[in-house]
Amino acid sequence: MAAKRSTPSDPSDSISSVMKETRLFPPPASFAATAHIASFAALKKLRAKALRDPEAYWDAQARELEWFAPWKRTLQWKHPHAQWFVGGKINVSVNCLDRHCATWRKNKAALIWEGEPGDTRTLTYAQLHREVCRFANVLRSLGVKQGDVVAIFMGMVPEAVIAMLACARIGATHNVVFGGFSSEALRERINDSKAVLLITQDAAHRRGDKVHLKKASDAALSECPTIEHVVVVQRTDERTAMKGGRDHWWHELMDAASAVHAPAKLSSEHPMFILYTSGSTGKPKGILHTTGGYITQVASTTKMIFDLKDDDVFFCTADIGWITGHSYIVYGPLANGATIVMYEGAPNHPEPDRMWSIVERHGVTIFYTAPTAIRSFMKWGESWPRKHDLSSLRLLGTVGEPINPEAWMWYHTVIGGKRCPIVDTWWQTENGAILISPLPGATPTKPGTATLPMPGMDIDVVRKDGTSCKPNEGGLLVVKHPWPSMLRTIYGNDERYRQAYWSEFPKSRTCAGWYFTGDGARRDEDGYIWIIGRVDDVVNVSGHRLGTAEVESALVSHRSVAEAAVVARPDEIKGNVLVAFVTLKTEAARGADLVTLREELRDHVAKEIGHIAKPDEVRFTEALPKTRSGKIMRRLLREVVAGAAISGDTTTLEDLSVLEKLRSGDDE
């Protein structure tokens, strides 16, 4: 099916939002008592002030960092290209390391790492600084210059963090490629970015098995003419073929390198990294982020949203191959001098309680994960978290897709012991930092909404004609004013940048030209933003536009359902009918009567939302096709129900056998 974006064809043709959620969770008084932003009133005041003068707000945030030279202009905006802190000189690794090494934090744990087999390593700020300086010298000795692109294809090992920071230190632009990608996906990303050097490892531990990253690299590199050197970390005892002149062992180079390195004084707009995102459609886009604006917004949001204090232990479960790993494992927490926990392996290895044993072992205070992970934890059952003392936790976070209220309540009750606020954070790879989120000491939360835009952000829900939607009227989520950590372009394809983000609401006599997120949303009577999902996932049933995420949320609220994906199938009479793909909870699947359950689920949706949303068909499946970052690939499911051949980019598919099963119909 054509992946044409469907937007309302006229202003009155808005998206019907059917989700109703009335539970309200004010910040616990004990939490607010010590929070950086300690009341809703204070937050409202801050937001209003920042909205009147965003540049003054960001100017003050940038001043929290260490700069070699001040900027002359806060923002230079030539639609759709922004430059922030123009003329300023800065180095991100100095802000993440050197700055803290000059204080008592020198011997504070920066990184607590746990390998999947159970080995651990801790690096203090001073130790991490030394490693980064040495690797910066290694990169320079291999001829890497300021502005060169360095590809990183690694698992979750400390060396990946060291490599990223070393690139930032010398002004090389890093391009981290998720370690689970195929060699074709790696090759495409290396060639598109023209990387000169690749950092990888022999193999990574995953679910008791090994992922052979060096082998995959070798396969990719047979057709990567720009790569001159490969640096290989030895993580396992696998035999590894090394190509003379091209391949070098990390430990050999590091042994010979000096731990003294003078950081590059980079201009604020220096390209810091490229990160490829494919979402669920099309050829991957190289999202380009620059230096000063990125680190300003990432550092400031980390501090406010996670209410970071010096005794916190921050555990973000994302992979460094995603933007969440960049911004909230590495750069945001380290810029704040925090202690981060990093875990190498699978969440259910050796048992489904691995995350909770990590929380207990290291005294994690802040835990940040994704709804898809939370639904897996629910599916495995609450006996696993119950085995552990989770009382060190004080704050929980989620990111990646709308969290269904059912999962929110489970997270709140079973993991958070009803005492931890939950920050539901909305943002995108393109945004660099969190744009919509509650502040845990200030914002009363409701299960399923990321609540309000962060201070300094001008965000609206609008109709196709650009007018603002009324409360509870669904529309399109836009950003109306540039922000420091926004993407600057799509690497090597500025035309696609303009098309993808700036063509929906172009600059005109009546419109300043807005960034379109691609998401549908509604704002409730309190101004809270509810994400309805990607507008590509909005379907029209009998003239009503429904966000499939809401139907999924209704399905998942049924006690037997672990996960659900809903797509449309074209229908002569209704325009579209809904087809639901459902995976059952482990217990529920045992001996279930699927015929009865199917009817029960259809009725359940009708009861929760209304007859209009009742799926025509419910198909049970063991797993859903997902991107590597855990997003359900609805495009593929649409093709499955339409009986069409699978087309387009599938390099982000997690498990093709899942798709094969669905297509051959043996899901039932």
Write out the residues near ligand WT7 by the rule CB under 6 A: 277, 323-324, 399-402, 424-429, 450, 517-519, 531, 534, 629
First to last CA, the chain: 24
Rounded CA-CA distance 150/200 in Å is 11
Q: Hey, CA dihedral for 584, 588, 590, 591, is it positive or negative?
A: negative
Rounded to a whole number of angstroms, the minimum distance from the CB of residue 437 to ligand WT7 is 8
Please identify, using beta-carbon distances, which residue of 550 and 639 lies nearer to ligand WT7.
Answer: 550
Q: In terms of CB distance, is 399 or 609 closer to ligand WT7?
A: 399
Instruction: Decide whether 135 or 276 has the Cβ nearer to ligand WT7.
Output: 276
Tokens of 376: 């897996």
How far is the C-alpha of 654 from the C-alpha of 484, rounded, in Å? 33
SS3 533: strand
Return the number of the residue (105 or 326) whose C-beta is nearest ligand WT7.
Answer: 326
For ligand WT7, the closer CB: 200 or 277: 277
The answer to whether residues 483 and 297 touch, using CB atoms and an 8 Å cutoff, is yes
3-state secondary structure 108-123: CEEEEEECCCCCEEEE
Residue 135 vs 427, nearer CB to ligand WT7: 427
Count of H-run helices and E-run strands, the chain = 23, 30
Shortest reach from residue 401's CB to ligand WT7, in Å = 5
**For the purposes of burial, counting CB atoms within 10 Å of the CB of 494, is it exposed (0-12), middle (13-18) or buried (19 or more)?**
middle
CB atoms within 10 A of CB 41: 9
Provide the minimum distance between the beta carbon of 70 and ligand WT7 in the complex, in angstroms, as a whole number: 31
Query: What is the smallest separation between the CB atom of 637 and ligand WT7, expressed in angstroms?
Result: 17
Q: How far is the CB of 564 from ligand WT7 (least distance, A)?
A: 16
In the complex, which residue's CB is closest to ligand WT7?
429
Shortest distance, position 425 Cβ to ligand WT7, whole Å: 5
Q: Which is nearer to ligand WT7, 269 or 424 (CB)?
A: 424
Nearer to ligand WT7, 335 or 632 (CB): 632
Dihedral sign, Cα of residue 437, residue 440, residue 446, residue 447: positive
Residue 514 falls in which region: left (phi positive, over 0), alpha (psi -120 to 50) or beta? beta
Minimum CB–partner distance for residue 65 and ligand WT7 (Å): 22
Q: Rounding to the nearest 10 degrees, give the CA dihedral for residues 248, 250, 256, 262.
A: 110
Q: Return the SS3 of 583.
A: strand
8 A C-beta contact, residue 618 and residue 602: yes
Min CB(504)–ligand WT7 separation in Å: 14
Residue type at 178?
F
